[in-house]
Amino acid sequence: MVWTTYCLDTPIDYFYNASKISDVVQHFIDNPLDAIFDHKTFAFEELRDFLKSYAGALDEAEKAGYDKYRPRQEPMVIWLPNITSLSPAFIFKSDNNGQTYVVSSEDLPYLENHIID
């Protein structure tokens, strides 16, 4: 997956409609039938794919300066529509300076001034 990382210097403290990573994982475990997207056979495939996406996004956030050992709060995820399904965008908030990192596989043109190369 190709990720774009955005770094917002202004602290954002509230993420309405975003879910904690642990809540999404718990939902996959508790509600396997609700977690099946794109007509895949097993919800566990979806969980595996979600965790791979999260790990990739976390790597990108760390490259941009996010310190996973000093988070302000648990990482969050929002779901963005694309042509065929929903794609996750991950939000990482640093404790040491309040910077917010958004890592997405979908372009977010309204944040293009904040892209980290």
| pLDDT tens-digit series, residues 100-116 | 999 999 999 988 888 77
Q: Which residue has the higher pLDDT, 38 or 105?
A: 105
- The domain total for the chain is 1
Domain with 36, as residue range(s), is 4-116
Q: How many helices (H) and strands (E) does the chain have?
A: 2, 6
Q: Is the pLDDT of residue 31 over 80?
A: no
3-state SS, residue 56: helix
